[in-house]
Amino acid sequence: MATFANETAIITVGDNSEEASRKLQQASNNINNWTQAWKIRINESKSVHVLFTYKQTVQAPITLNNTIIPYSNNSKYLRMNLDAKLCWKEHIKKNLQRVT
């Protein structure tokens, strides 16, 4: 888990997408149990999950607090635009627009 201010990323690694998704669901379950114990609310509507891979795969649904977290091909974290293939194209494009 990577946390900075009010942004949190759960990062899992696997030999294949199924293993990575299984680990991500386990981490989500653990976080859900912890937040319920401490009466902390996570805004699931601001959450997405991204599978960083070059392979085309079927995405397993990930849930948090009984809510399906939608899959996305990209996500923004700490002002970085991360895409599923980590090619940085969108990040560079948006930053070029900002400075011009």
Residue by residue, pLDDT tens for the chain (100 residues) are 888 888 889 999 999 989 999 999 999 999 999 999 999 998 888 899 999 888 877 778 999 999 999 999 889 888 888 888 888 888 888 888 888 7
pLDDT the model gives residue 99: 85
- Could you tell me if 21 and 59 are in contact, meaning their C-beta atoms sit under 8 angstroms apart? yes
Contact 40, 2 (CB under 8 A): no
pLDDT of res. 33: 96
Single pTM value for the model: 0.82
Asked whether 47 and 68 are in contact (CB, 8 A), the reply is no
